[in-house]
Chain A
Amino acid sequence: MSDLLRIENLEVVYNDVVLVLKGLSLAAEAGKITALLGANGAGKSTTLKAISGLLEGEDGAITDGAVLLDGQAVHGRPPEEIVRRGVFQVMEGRRIFQDLNVEENLRCGAFTRPRGEFRESLDKVYGYFPRLKERRRQIAGYMSGGEQQMLAIGRAIMARPRLLLLDEPSLGLAPLLVEEIFEIIQRFNQAEGVTVLLVEQNARVALSVASRGYIMEGGRIVMDGAAEELLGNPDVQEFYLGMGASGQRKSYRNIKHYRRRKRWLG
């Protein structure tokens, strides 16, 4: 199978001094869900913004490496051009336009698409999220967190991307809602064949829908493999799924834990 997205030795620097990505490489296979996991500050969001071009407004710059979409370099291009090439990022924290109503938010998602397909896309979004249809004239800022996340994903569906970048869709949602959202992401992926790169803290949920996973620490990839493989890996179980190596809850008294983790990060 071919990779829709390839990242090669990517280096990103913020404010000319802070090196956040230190030679990161990964690939997202076309039509599949790829999970990118890691602790806070590992550089997951930065990776997504480097792909979508949104580093620009944050004083971040790609200093080395390449982002290849279908083999063509897209790094350094302005975000609007990257969106037009079929890459759409759902940003962390949902970032909906709170002053606009639901349908106006969805229109923004379809900004780069021909007007003729708007109706059809809208019906599709309402098919996935019937609740948005009920609220289509409501000011988005007054909706619940779950509904706002649905709206954020709805905007992405409106854009009909080839590559969907999802930044922590589970953030701040109740467990049942998380399941619902991930189920819809999976459906969207299967129905439209859209490639998904998923950044998550919730490793268990992410690996349950993904076919492949990468684990980041300190700005580089430290481990990758098929999702089932990672789920079964004792280190992943211990550091990300909160289980002891043998399946029981871990004890911090165990010094070996720190040694192993340290070796891992090195």
Chain B
Amino acid sequence: MHYYLQLLINGLVVGGIYSLVALGFVVIYKATQVVNFAQGELVMAGAYVCFSLTVQFHVPFLWAFLMTLGFSVLLGLAVERLALRPLIGESTISVIMVTIGLSSVLKSLVQLVWGTQIKVFPQVLPAEPLFLAGVPIAPVYLAAFVLSALLFAVFSLFFKYSRLGVAMRATAFDQQAAQSMGIGIKNIFALSWCIACVVSGVGGVILGNINGINSQLGYLGLKVFPAVILGGLDSLAGAALGGLIVGVLENLCDGLAKDFLGLSGFKEVAAFVVLVLILMIKPYGLFGSREIERV
């Protein structure tokens, strides 16, 4: 039992990271209708920059973290300006192909600069576990979960109450009508890429602190797909829940498969199995919006 509780907690922490990355994915999809296949690589970029700052340049971790956020903003701006803006007005499939290309470019750049070996972050938080209801939890896990939840809360409030957040939702619904309100949709696109890069970067830093990083980190993006599709491509709450569900499911299924079937590696597919099942029942995902139809 204890073992499964541990798996559950692991799942929640990893799920929290999935949720963060899914948030970035959903923001881009909502504002620009672009399915961003480079989301995992944005995670990787953030993780490596933070690693580089702390280990190679000996910047204190907190500063390195903040500088990583700054870097993510710049990365978002650059990607939007160089790769996406020239494609405004082109077909969706071209834009999606560009994001796939972007993922290759980012991955290669990271390998070029940092190589393919696994890198380990310095220990930031104490290794001594905290006990929550008798279950030991590493502080870094707790911090990861709290940070994810906090970021999620911030963005939810942003989209609900700030003028810019409301404008982003308006742009997501109808770009031309948003333009007619005086909303500069190019700025909105740039902003959505910035947000996506920042949340992904944070996800990357957290992951690095837990597991260390290597150049395969980008495949995390693949895990985020089930999460967002599960939640509904355009729903923030869906992204949060989808991420958590995928995180917990893959850990629990993995444990169960090992115990009862003697199978390992079930982790990698569990999420997709559940995804297929859910989409058969709810094709819009758990929270995805259907078109509003007046009768």
- Which stretch, A22-30, A66-74, A97-105, touches the partner chain B? A97-105
Instruction: Please state if A89 and B180 are interface contacts (CB–CB under 8 Å).
Output: yes
Residues 40-72 of A, flagged 1 when their CB comes within 8 A of B and 0 if not, give 000000000000111011110000000000000
Instruction: Please state if A54 and B182 are interface contacts (CB–CB under 8 Å).
Output: no
* B289 nearest CB across to chain A (Å): 7
CA distance A50 to B177 in the complex (A): 15
Given that A97-B170, A115-B163 are known contacts, is A83 also in contact with B182, CB under 8 Å in the complex? yes
Given that A100-B169, A100-B170 are known contacts, is A95 also in contact with B294, CB under 8 Å in the complex? no
B50 within 8 Å of A by Cβ?
no
- Which stretch, A106-114, A227-235, A241-249, touches the partner chain B? A106-114
A80 within 8 Å of B by Cβ?
yes
* A111 nearest CB across to chain B (Å): 5
- Across the interface, A112 reaches (CB within 8 A) one of B170, B173, B176, B182, namely B182
Instruction: Please state if A139 and B181 are interface contacts (CB–CB under 8 Å).
Output: no
B259 within 8 Å of A by Cβ?
no
* B69 nearest CB across to chain A (Å): 26
* Contacts across chains A and B counted by CB atoms under 8 Å: 84
Cβ < 8 Å to B, chain A residues 102-148: 104-105, 107-109, 111-112, 115, 139, 141-142, 144-145
B179 within 8 Å of A by Cβ?
yes
CA distance A96 to B174 in the complex (A): 8
Given that A84-B182, A139-B292, A155-B181 are known contacts, is A95 also in contact with B169, CB under 8 Å in the complex? no
* A183 nearest CB across to chain B (Å): 24
- B180: chain A residues within 8 A (beta carbon): 52, 54, 79, 83, 88-91, 95
Instruction: Please state if A80 and B184 are interface contacts (CB–CB under 8 Å).
Output: yes
Interface residues on B, range: 20 to 34
CA distance A117 to B7 in the complex (A): 53
* B197 nearest CB across to chain A (Å): 24
B175 within 8 Å of A by Cβ?
yes
A20 within 8 Å of B by Cβ?
no
Cβ < 8 Å to A, chain B residues 127-143: none
- B292: chain A residues within 8 A (beta carbon): 98-99, 139, 141-142
Instruction: Please state if A80 and B173 are interface contacts (CB–CB under 8 Å).
Output: no
* B165 nearest CB across to chain A (Å): 10
CA distance A88 to B180 in the complex (A): 7
Cβ < 8 Å to B, chain A residues 8-35: none
Cβ < 8 Å to A, chain B residues 153-170: 163, 166-167, 169-170
Residue from the set B173, B292, B294 with the largest chain A CB neighbour count within 10 Å: B173
Instruction: Please state if A108 and B167 are interface contacts (CB–CB under 8 Å).
Output: yes
Can you list 12 A-B contacts with CB-CB less than 8 angstroms, sorted by A residue number? A57-B176, A57-B179, A80-B184, A83-B182, A90-B180, A95-B176, A97-B177, A107-B163, A108-B167, A111-B163, A115-B163, A141-B294
Which A residues are closer than 8 A to B by beta carbons? 52-54, 56-59, 78-80, 83-84, 88-91, 95-100, 104-105, 107-109, 111-112, 115, 139, 141-142, 144-145, 155, 159
Supplied contacts A79-B182, A83-B180, A108-B178, 16 more A-B pairs, CB within 8 Å? A54-B180, A57-B176, A80-B182, A83-B182, A91-B180, A95-B177, A96-B177, A97-B170, A98-B173, A100-B166, A100-B169, A100-B173, A105-B170, A108-B181, A155-B181, A159-B182
